[in-house]
Structure 1
């Protein structure tokens, strides 16, 4: 019997799998990577040795209005460590600069004061100027051009009006943008609703290059690069983290080159070969990524990439914040089957993309091919079943349900952290 720890909320739950059933455990090597330095030293060294860029302190000289784009409450960027160091570096070059920390909510709700305090620490929240980006607030947006896709590019006027625009974030595999981090801080991070909808249209989500770990030929990535350049994003600090959300590497400097180096590092650690099975068990990496069903679709895509035809996918995700998107929820509530949802979405043109359509499209794609069992004791089971999935309170209960569907001899692949791997087919 093998015992595997599965991330859930802020801890882990044990999963027991008979050795005769277990065909593979797919894990990112980042979770076992041992850095030579402590987290603060890693970040400082990255800023002291920027990739194809002058130091941030040099770029800041003479700048009066500086904006730092940071991630919101749904992202495990260790800002309590990174932001103070970034601020110190900027003020070393421009002590009197007016600095705004712009929270890149993208299409998410605003980050609350309590969430800010938890993420950034009381000192920053009480002493710095933090502002939530609101994608639907037209008065806060400026049109700056047309995306390569043809969609209008609207960005937060604070970002556009900055003398120096900087962003911080983290790099991990992303289920349709290829990787998080870098240019993604701008689009969707501080983009307008119209722009996000165009970039996340059904045609792009359906594209075979809009997948985990793929940047080359990815139409979503192409739009994002254009947006970052149009915003004059000048410098990034992106970190890579392990299963405990600890920094194991950092990349700073040129927005494209530093991000590319970081993606190469993550690819080397996160790539795993698919082990196809009748049952695939995964998670969404625990808190904060497993707060809602919307985010948990990401982990399901890793399981999808290692699932046999008609396999059962089990995902452990607390979803204590509910569905995570009203339009996302209503799409499943109002349609009888995943096929119905997919047919409707594929008929929607770019300019008519609706909120959360991309998440609905990907979940429908998975549900057309597989049964999904969502394991949570923090979310209303009806919410889960309304969205065409099965519910279980525990992994043992879910596994029993899966055995009933696939047989006691069913093969099993476990992907402990579904958002941390790039599954190569």
Structure 2
């Protein structure tokens, strides 16, 4: 049997895998979806025929100000397609352009500035005509305290630019999320433009260790339920949701009342994203979905968690991530250092008594899930020195040889390959 080459997402392109001749590969990817031939027309139709709300032109009429939330650089949202038509509609309806702000929902991520900001917005006209600003979760004066949620007592503090806007719209990408079930919609508000105390409550162990806080699940998911309660505390909020295929082309766009429009996008993508497998695998090769999600090791952990349902206990999970921007925040580095020093069980014990998680330690907590189940091996070109040690996983320089070793160890030649990483969710069904 000759070697077979398959490619997976890596950086801004793809990484070719040379599989050993004995390997029996199973490709796990989203079902093909028809591409939208006329994307501007699809955006216009969504804005004119919304779900659960009047058209945008009618919503904007008589409003004095507007705030549009967009995701930060870690999400490949096609902002270039919809920001200008949304803003032009608002201006034509009478909202002064000086009272329209595009607010980047950074959560606790770093701000997007300079060339990166231009790339994120994707349209020079937007930058020239309205304010585009970053959310800073640690700036106390930037937030309004809405009080705690009734259900779980989460303190709710949100960016005042969004809370005080006369017209509030959150935009984003709907894809599997390893804690909140699905990204987009309500998640762009919290944690997107929330105060650090709100975010750190969301990411405490009482939420993170809940068995229902997993990808593709909204029913009983405590994070999702808190996000919905926060939306209702705000009052009228609207959402524009996009869905992309493996080529990053637009295949679905919905607009309208934020909860209803998000639910419509989830319904569209849910079945084609969750792929049933009739077996588990002792060897899995996956990615961090390429750029921009594989810019840091911090984001890479998402790709380790998503395929766990089809990993045989004791199996090997091989993940490729460029990590072009390196490791992640200083806080995440400190959490990883504690994991390496204490080991998984003792590290988790330090988290369970906290009401507020330390910043970015929740991603380290999520790494415990694959570590409990099997062996994690990482191929990257962006980490060196101590950073490689602080991952807490096994570093490899040759994916083909890693596959050979895994097959030799397990005696099973079947290999699952997930080119798009965390954007695809395998489900085991015997």
> Which residues in structure 2 correspond to 1:23-62 (within 5 Å)?
24-29=26-31, 32-62=32-62
1:195-248 residue CA offsets vs partner (Å, 9 max, x unmatched): 011112112111111111000100000111112222335211110011222111
Tell me: CA distance 1:410–1:336, structure 2 relative to 1, closer, same or farther (3 Å). Answer: farther
Structure 1 residue aligned with 2:145: 143
Structure 2 residue aligned with 1:111: 112
User: How large is the RMSD of aligned CA atoms in angstroms?
Assistant: 1.8
179-188 or 197-206, which deviates more: 197-206
Structure 1 residue aligned with 2:161: 158
1:397: how far off? 4.5
Equivalents in 1 of 2:6, 2:34: separation in Å? 21
Asked if the contact 2:30–2:246 (Cα under 8 Å) also holds between the matched residues in 1, the reply is no
Matched, 1:214 2:217: yes
Matched, 1:96 2:96: yes
Unaligned residue ranges in structure 2 (runs of 5+): none
176-185 or 89-98, which deviates more: 89-98
Equivalents in 2 of 1:353, 1:15: separation in Å? 38
Equivalents in 2 of 1:325, 1:256: separation in Å? 32
- What is the TM-score when the length of structure 2 is the normalising length? 0.93
Equivalents in 1 of 2:62, 2:270: separation in Å? 38
- What is the TM-score when the length of structure 1 is the normalising length? 0.94
Structure 1 residue aligned with 2:288: 284
Structure 1 residue aligned with 2:349: 343
Structure 1 residue aligned with 2:260: 257
Equivalents in 1 of 2:319, 2:346: separation in Å? 23
Matched, 1:305 2:309: yes
Equivalents in 1 of 2:127, 2:309: separation in Å? 40
1:336-371 residue CA offsets vs partner (Å, 9 max, x unmatched): 4222222222x2332x32111321111022112221
Tell me: CA distance 1:331–1:176, structure 2 relative to 1, closer, same or farther (3 Å). Answer: same
Asked if the contact 2:326–2:383 (Cα under 8 Å) also holds between the matched residues in 1, the reply is yes
Alignment equivalent of 2:130, drawn from 128, 131, 135: 128
1:93: how far off? 1.9
Equivalents in 2 of 1:197, 1:397: separation in Å? 40
Asked if the contact 1:67–1:102 (Cα under 8 Å) also holds between the matched residues in 2, the reply is yes
1:17: how far off? 2.9
> Which residues in structure 2 correspond to 1:312-351 (within 5 Å)?
312-334=316-338, 335-345=341-351, 347-350=352-355
Structure 2 residue aligned with 1:197: 200
Matched, 1:224 2:227: yes
Tell me: CA distance 1:42–1:3, structure 2 relative to 1, closer, same or farther (3 Å). Answer: farther
Asked if the contact 1:26–1:415 (Cα under 8 Å) also holds between the matched residues in 2, the reply is yes
1:28-66 residue CA offsets vs partner (Å, 9 max, x unmatched): 11xx21224232222222112101110011011111111
Equivalents in 2 of 1:320, 1:400: separation in Å? 27
1:177: how far off? 0.2
Asked if the contact 2:10–2:322 (Cα under 8 Å) also holds between the matched residues in 1, the reply is yes
1:59-106 residue CA offsets vs partner (Å, 9 max, x unmatched): 111111110011111111011112112212222322535101111001
Asked if the contact 2:102–2:130 (Cα under 8 Å) also holds between the matched residues in 1, the reply is yes
Structure 1 residue aligned with 2:66: 66
Q: Equivalent residue of 2:169, what SS?
A: strand
212-221 or 122-131, which deviates more: 122-131
1:306-365 residue CA offsets vs partner (Å, 9 max, x unmatched): 1000111111111111222322221221324222222222x2332x32111321111022
Structure 2 residue aligned with 1:396: 400
